[in-house]
Structure 1
Amino acid sequence: MSFEHIIYFVTSGVALLSLNRPKSLNSFNEAMHLEVREAFKLIKADKRVRALVLTGEGRGFCAGQDLSDRNVDPNAESPDLGRSIDKFYNPLIKTIQELPMPVICAVNGVAAGAGANIPLACDLILAGRSAKFIQAFCKIGLVPDSGGTWFLPRLVGMAKAKELALLGEVVSADDAVQIGLINRVVEDDVLRQEAMDLAQKLASQPTKGLAYIKRALNQTFDHGLHAHLELERDLQRLAGQTQDYREGVAAFMEKRTPAFKGE
C-alpha cells in the first residue's frame, strides 16, 4: 500500500512505521492520522508481524498536532478539540496499548505535545542523544492529551508529572532516562538500527506470551490484587496452551536453542 505521510514496511518479523512529514517535524494533520490508522490495520492483519518500531523521519519524532490544520481564528466559533481527540488521538493510544505484540518507539529529536505522549503508550522507548521531550500543552492553554495525564504519574510520580505538565520545560534524553520516562538513550546515528535490532530480538521470542505479559502489566492499576491474581491465572492458562510454551519446555529439556513461531 502506498503512503504519502508515513513510511511503512515489514522485514524479518518487524514492522517499521515512520512518521514522514519532516518539514513540519512530523506534526499530525488529518491525512497523516488516516494513514497511520491504515498502517495499524495492516499490522493487525499481517501474521508475519511480531514486533513494531514506531519512529519519525528527519530531525524530530513528532511535534504533536499541526495547528495549521485547525481553525483557530479568534473571531470564529471555538473549535471542538474533543472531537479531534475522540476521532484520532484516543483510538491511536488504545491501538498501541492493545496491539498483541511489543511496540518500540525510537524517538529522534523533538517529541512535543501529543508527540511526547504517544511514545509513552509504547512498551519500550529508545531515544537518540539529541531527543527532547516537551509537554507543550500548557504553553497554549491546553491539557496534556494522548494519555499524558495517565502515563506521566505512573512513570515518573505525581510530583514530577505536575512539574512536567505545568511548566512545559524541555526534558533531555539523558534526563528522561534518569526520571524513568524512557528506557534507553543511544547515539543518534544508531538509534533506528538499535530499535530494529531490539524489535527483531523480541520478534524471535514467544510473542503470544509477550502479548499476555503486556496485557497483564497494562492492567496492573485497573483493579486490586485479588482480581489481578485471577487475571494472571487466566493469562497463564492461555499461555500454557501455545505451541511456543511446548517448544520452550522441549528446548530446555533438550538443552538447545528454542525456535519460537509466535503460535
Structure 2
Amino acid sequence: MAVEVSHEGPVLTIALDRPDQLNACTRELHVELAAAVKQARSPEVRAVILTGNGRGFCVGQDLGEVRADGGGGNDVRLRTLYNPTIRALRALEKPVIAAVNGVCAGAGLSLAAACDIRVASEHAKFVPAFANIGLIPDAGASYHLVHVLGYAKAFEWMTSGRHLGAEEARALGLVSEVLVPDALLEHAGERAQALAAMTGAAVGLTKRLMQQALHTTLDEQLELEAQLQGYAGSTPEYAAALDAFLDRSAAKRGG
C-alpha cells in the first residue's frame, strides 16, 4: 500500500505512505490517492487532512519510474494521473488541510497548494524543483500558487528554485501556521474537527463560493451568493442553529 487512510469521527486523514522514498509519486500511489479522495466524498466525511508518513510530505514524481518509462511522457502522466486528483481535491465541498511534515517538492508542492489550508512542521521545506531540471510548474502549481501568493511572488519563487524553510513559507503566506513536529497532526486534527463541527453545509458552500470568485464578475458573484444563501437558509441545520441563537439571546436578556 502506498496510501494510508484513517478516520476519526467526521475527519478523514490521507497519509502518503512511501516513507523510504519521501512519498515520491508512482502509478500505484496515484491510484490509491484517487481512491482515498473518492472516499472523502462520503457525506459522513466533513473534513480531510492530507499528510505524509516519515520525513517527507511528498517530493513529487518518482524519477526512477520516469527513467523506466524512457524519460518522457510527462504530458500523459499529468493528464491521466495528476490532474484528475487535483480536480477531485478542489471539487470536494469540504475543507482539505495539508499537514506538511517534511520536504514538500515538485508535484508534492502542487498537492499542498491545492489544499484549502496549509500548516507545517518546523522541519518542513518547500522546494519548487521544476526549473532546476528544466521543467515548468505543473499539477496546478502555476494556478494555485498565483492565487495563494500573488503573481510576482509566485513567479519569482518558481523561477528561482530556492528552498523555503517553514518560517519563510509562513512569512510568504504559503502556510498559516508552523508547529513543532510532534504537535503537527494533533493540531491539524483539531482544526479539521472544528471545521467539521460547523453548522450544515456552510463550510463546503463557502469553499465553492470562494473558488468561483477567482474567475467571476462581481455581478455573477452576487447572484451566486444569493443562490447559495437561499439554499443554506432553507436547511434544517440553519433553522436549528437560528432557534438556538435566539433562545440564548432571550435567556441572556431575561437574566
TM-score w.r.t. length of structure 1: 0.91
Correspondence 1:186-205 to 2 at 5 A: 186-205=179-198
| Counterpart residue number, 1:260 | none
Q: Deviation of residue 252 (structure 1)?
A: 0.4
Correspondence 1:68-87 to 2 at 5 A: 68-71=64-67, 79-87=72-80
Cα distance in 1, alignment partners of residues 37 and 239 from structure 2: 30
Q: Give deviations 1:12-58, integer Å, cap 9, x for gaps.
A: 110010000001000100001001111122221x3321111110000
**Secondary structure of the structure 2 residue equivalent to 1:255:** helix
| Counterpart residue number, 1:10 | 7
Which 4+ residue blocks in structure 1 deviate beyond 6 angstroms? none
1:157 aligns to 2:153 (yes or no): no
- Quick check: 2:200–2:238 contact (8 Å CA) kept in 1? no
Counterpart code for 1:150: Y
Counterpart code for 1:171: L
The range that moved more, 149-158 or 120-129, is 149-158
**Secondary structure of the structure 1 residue equivalent to 2:98:** strand
Give the total of aligned pairs. Answer: 249
Aligned residues: CA RMSD:
1.4
Cα distance in 2, alignment partners of residues 235 and 171 from structure 1: 38
Cα distance in 2, alignment partners of residues 63 and 18 from structure 1: 14
Cα distance in 2, alignment partners of residues 20 and 67 from structure 1: 17
- Quick check: 1:101–1:207 contact (8 Å CA) kept in 2? no
Cα distance in 2, alignment partners of residues 160 and 223 from structure 1: 23
Identity of aligned residues (%): 37
Q: 2:40 aligns with which of 34, 38, 43?
A: 43
Q: Gapped runs of 5+ residues in structure 1?
A: 257-263
TM-score w.r.t. length of structure 2: 0.94
Q: Give deviations 1:143-183, integer Å, cap 9, x for gaps.
A: 11121111122222222111111111101111111111111
Q: Gapped runs of 5+ residues in structure 2?
A: 250-255
Correspondence 1:19-30 to 2 at 5 A: 19-30=16-27
| Counterpart residue number, 1:259 | none
Counterpart code for 2:194: K
1:172 aligns to 2:165 (yes or no): yes
- Quick check: 2:99–2:118 contact (8 Å CA) kept in 1? yes
Q: Give deviations 1:199-223, integer Å, cap 9, x for gaps.
A: 1111111251111100011111211
Counterpart code for 1:231: L
Q: 1:59 aligns with which of 55, 59, 80?
A: 55
